[in-house]
Amino acid sequence: MAWAYIKDANIRAIWSPWVQNLPQLGLALVLFFGGWMVLQGDLKIGQILAFNAYLLMLQAPFMMLGQLVMMGQRAKASAERIFEILDENPDIVDRPGAYDLVDVNGAIVFNHVDFTYGNGVEILTDFDARIEPGETVALVGRTGSGKSTVARLLTRFYDVSDGAISIDGHDLRDLTLHSLRENVGVVLDEPFLFSMSIRENIAYGRPDATLEEVEAAALAANADEFIVRLPEGYDTVVGERGYTLSGGQRQRIAIARTLLLNPPILILDDATSAIDVHVESGIYEALKGLLTQRTTIVIAHRISTIALATRVLLLDEGHVVASGTHEELLANVPLYSEILAQASGAEWS
């Protein structure tokens, strides 16, 4: 893309001076030859002035025409790219005979899962784990160990390269995408908010939700306290991608959006990374009661986040190297202590 901008700049540098100075050149020629004709008695001064006025009147429309042609070419190129994206067929689609996931208990099994991205980078190798219904499990590991990849595979943004993932004994590839993603809620570390009201952002997955339900979800996510202080409360319109709010406020709205959906399986992908410790503790107090009602996977770096989990899975080089409570791993697995120490150092640096 950079080469196109460089070429555009070069063309502008060559032709813009000509385009800008041609009208002045035409004016100079009119005055020069017109003045000569006036001196010869072939033309009157009033005629020269009238012709000059007509020339000045024609400049602006022709310059505008050039701008319109340029804008039209840009719009054509942009439209081609947009329609190219809209016409793109997704790689992950429902299998023939796929069925809906209903009455979810939340038992998740990763059966010797391997996964390699399209660029050939292998992320997961023989990833084997079982999460019981209602259990809260934290995934801990170095950057690049595959924690976020697990979340993407569980929602079928990608399919496993080998092995299988199942929910309540159903292979994810046999389920309809709509029903799977309806039952698995994900809160990302950088959530996307739309340029609409806070109420509409929270109720995005449930447009028919009442204001009372939206407020209850916001209270659970500890978002109500800052929303009510905004000029129009829940009707306050946030900017594109929510950038009129702080990172922590955006994350709390994203948590409220997911809680309103009330999915039986919840994934928190470093969902409180931009929230200060004081606010984070309030969110966790509210979440503790809610997490007992669903299976939860917490992708964590902070010890306060790990404390939500009843069990910790330690990942290294794409597979589980240890499993146990936070205290057990801290006492018996040096790698776990090392990762937590590095995460704490990065947070305070």
**Do 270 and 122 have their domain in common?**
yes
How far, in whole angstroms, is CA 16 from its chain's centroid? 39
**Res 272: pLDDT:** 59
**Do 62 and 125 have their domain in common?**
no
- Domain for residue 99, yes or no? no
- Domain for residue 335, yes or no? yes
- Domain for residue 33, yes or no? yes
**Do 20 and 50 have their domain in common?**
yes
- Domain for residue 16, yes or no? yes
The last residue of one of the domains, among 28, 56, 86, is 86
**Do 40 and 126 have their domain in common?**
no
CATH code of the domain in which 264 resides:
3.40.50.300
**Do 176 and 234 have their domain in common?**
yes
**Res 348: pLDDT:** 39
The last residue of one of the domains, among 86, 117, 151, is 86
pLDDT tens per residue, range 181-206: 889 988 877 778 888 888 998 998 88
pLDDT tens per residue, range 271-310: 555 556 666 665 666 566 566 678 988 887 777 778 778 8
- Domain for residue 203, yes or no? yes
346 pLDDT more than 50:
no
**Do 185 and 290 have their domain in common?**
yes
- Domain for residue 102, yes or no? no
Q: How many domains does the chain have?
A: 2
**Do 194 and 295 have their domain in common?**
yes
**Do 23 and 57 have their domain in common?**
yes
What mean pLDDT value characterizes the chain? 82
**Full domain range(s) for residue 6:** 2-86
pLDDT tens per residue, range 128-181: 999 999 888 989 888 878 888 888 899 999 889 899 999 999 999 999 999 998
**Do 194 and 335 have their domain in common?**
yes
The answer to whether the beta carbons of residues 114 and 132 sit under 8 Å apart is no
**Do 77 and 218 have their domain in common?**
no
**Do 116 and 257 have their domain in common?**
yes
pLDDT tens per residue, range 27-85: 777 778 777 887 787 777 787 778 777 777 777 777 787 778 878 887 888 888 888 88
pLDDT tens per residue, range 194-249: 888 889 989 988 888 898 999 888 888 778 888 888 888 888 888 777 777 877 78
- Domain for residue 95, yes or no? no
- Domain for residue 244, yes or no? yes
**Do 124 and 72 have their domain in common?**
no
> Model-level pTM?
0.70
